[in-house]
Structure 1
């Protein structure tokens, strides 16, 4: 790796964010010989260390881990990398082409100028002709307002700060939210022998394996991850959707909340109110469990149709039959009476682009763009879910989006000689 860089005063392209998206576009810019710098407020790929729990594994199989010029290089292409393995893999990616990264440099503001953009950073000022905002879309942990009404005795932790069952106070735990993080954290606590209560949201689920293969492998072959947000029936609203829950833990398996209930996990519908230690829930438990199962079965229907169309010789498999059905809809929970000492909020994140002082945002604070390109010439976003397709949230999708953004950057940059 080359010697540490100093912040230049001027650059053709400033890339803000040193995660997989920032590294991927840097690879393309370096390959094209385009002058640029990557500004990272902490360390490269730090989110994989700082915002994942100890037992975290990828949900996507390792074979889908493909970045520009660098594919998964381990011995388990059908396995699932752990948090530490992902961070190490991204470290090897960085070393493979030595991008011009400045770590510990936070961008405080981004403004438009006559010639491009002005960036004020903790290391000084920088002028850039073009900018790529590659900070992802999950910035600030989102916690519902009713959290403020909980008893002070209750320890509250957001999923971004959850590390392990052992790091929490003794006692039962309530997890709020059943997306990927919530479902996996509930399983982590359950496997550790903790008493777990789980308040569900309307998250879908998917089988891990079906008819002899990982479902994600089937879906990739079917081109599902290539469907653009414009082609999707939900349109741009799909960018706000919750991911299907499953896990890569222990080689990968389904997460069946009904099975957890059989084993003692307490399930509830949507959390609606809190008053001290007493919580109220909407009667949505049955609806949410049935919805998650219906999505899983619809995915299997699509896989069946693909197998039939392509004439693939694949083993048949019995469909899922619910192993547990709620006898009643719990309307309330007294945290003190249940011995609950901790609430884990798996309620997602909200964007925070206050430092981007350019008018490219909608009313909810999300950037408006098409395939990452905004209406302001030279300003791009990268690394967002559904930036272009469902695959945009995966390593391979980030790679494709980075290639497109780099092509648009190159079209506005002075002619350069590839490195």
Structure 2
């Protein structure tokens, strides 16, 4: 019987472990991955964070290198491995959760590597579990090559012909720019694209956000509510320049598809050879079989990660409390809050 079990060994789960290591609580962190940092390593090859190193560290250990420059995804993966080693965090990999229930005051966790019991359970799997792809993709011909950003690595995966990137977030923007060097590239987005620079006067825009209090804006504050409405902002002007140079062609929102043709909300259509779905993710936790965790719309019911179920917590959710709750630079505050609740309450 553990005092605490943490499901997920990404930045959120490891940060919780950092704080629990300072207590007398017995705990374990489990993850289905084969190695620490695997989710970062598996992302597309050219990925570079738009947050600089000074805002990409976890509590207790700075990310090495120029604080104002931007780390690569492989750098973050290596950093997480070093984090586990430095703080001797008890991580068990290759352990996939099959079922979680609660009875007799404790959690019963069935996994691919056996059965566990724990007085407290912290779900730290983050928001990126299941690719969110529209249902009409079934109408597309098998000749159209389709891939979600979670599986995209580099342009060599695509077949000959044009490419449509669906979704105008930062990942979609970076990938569209990369592909535009080799292919006739289109980008479909449901709203007008909005851009911000990554640096202002040689300092990261996140440095300015920090000074203005934006990084600490809570989900219920007036500033926080305003920011949440503008979450689709793209950092950097590379895509804006590619559009200006006619290297990326902007299209309206995709509403349907048939055979090799995609239809847009303005009534236009496009015949495509490749589609990259940069359409984000949806939460999927089918193994958590505990009543009262989700509302009627499937959303997690919580306050700052603390649920109505005694001993059950979440961490790493978007806007769990602040703008950076699901990011490296913001997860530490949430982790300390939850760790304090665990150490006091039970």
Per the normalisation by structure 2, the TM-score is 0.94
Q: Look up the match of 1:327.
A: none
Distance 1:332 1:166 in 2: 29
Q: Which runs of 5+ in 2 are unaligned?
A: none
Q: Look up the match of 2:340.
A: 407
Structure 2 contact 107–117 (Cα < 8 Å) conserved: yes
Q: How does 1:305-324 map to 2 (within 5 A)?
A: none
Moved more, 200-209 or 346-355: 200-209
Distance 2:300 2:250 in 1: 36
Q: Look up the match of 2:38.
A: 46
Residue in structure 2 matching 1:198, options 187, 195, 200? 187
> Per-residue deviation at 1:65?
1.7
Deviations 1:36-83 (A, max 9, x none): 000111132211012x10001111111102212111122x21111111
Distance 2:233 2:339 in 1: 30
Residue in structure 2 matching 1:60, options 39, 51, 56? 51
Q: Look up the match of 1:132.
A: 122
Specify the structure having the higher radius of gyration (Cα). 1
Deviations 1:3-55 (A, max 9, x none): xxxxxxx10000000101111000110111211000111132211012x1000
Asked if residue 333 in structure 1 is aligned to residue 259 in structure 2, the reply is no
Q: Look up the match of 1:374.
A: 307
> Per-residue deviation at 1:237?
11
Distance 2:138 2:270 in 1: 16
Q: 1:262–1:346: structure 2 CA closer, same or farther, 3 Å change rule? A: same
Per the normalisation by structure 1, the TM-score is 0.78
Q: How does 1:5-154 map to 2 (within 5 A)?
A: 10-42=1-33, 43-50=35-42, 52-74=43-65, 76-154=66-144
> Per-residue deviation at 1:405?
0.6
Q: Which has the higher helix share?
A: 1
Structure 2 contact 263–270 (Cα < 8 Å) conserved: no
Residue in structure 2 matching 1:365, options 277, 298, 314? 298
Distance 1:126 1:225 in 2: 37
Structure 1 contact 228–389 (Cα < 8 Å) conserved: yes
Distance 1:258 1:82 in 2: 22
Distance 1:265 1:45 in 2: 32
Distance 1:166 1:360 in 2: 42
> Per-residue deviation at 1:155?
0.7
Q: Secondary structure at the match of 2:293?
A: coil
> Per-residue deviation at 1:277?
2.2
Q: 1:241–1:351: structure 2 CA closer, same or farther, 3 Å change rule? A: farther
Q: 1:385–1:241: structure 2 CA closer, same or farther, 3 Å change rule? A: farther
Q: 1:217–1:94: structure 2 CA closer, same or farther, 3 Å change rule? A: same
Q: Secondary structure at the match of 1:160?
A: coil
Structure 2 contact 146–277 (Cα < 8 Å) conserved: yes
Distance 1:389 1:158 in 2: 28
Q: Look up the match of 1:344.
A: 276
Distance 2:130 2:327 in 1: 21
Distance 2:37 2:305 in 1: 21
Q: Secondary structure at the match of 2:325?
A: helix
Q: Look up the match of 1:165.
A: 155
Q: Secondary structure at the match of 1:90?
A: helix
Deviations 1:145-184 (A, max 9, x none): 1211112210110111111011211221111111111111
Distance 1:194 1:384 in 2: 35
Q: Secondary structure at the match of 1:96?
A: helix
> Per-residue deviation at 1:207?
1.9
Q: Secondary structure at the match of 2:136?
A: helix
How many corresponding residue pairs?
343
Q: Look up the match of 2:210.
A: 220
Q: 1:88–1:55: structure 2 CA closer, same or farther, 3 Å change rule? A: same
Q: Look up the match of 2:257.
A: 274
Q: Secondary structure at the match of 1:112?
A: strand
Q: How does 1:279-298 map to 2 (within 5 A)?
A: 279-283=262-266
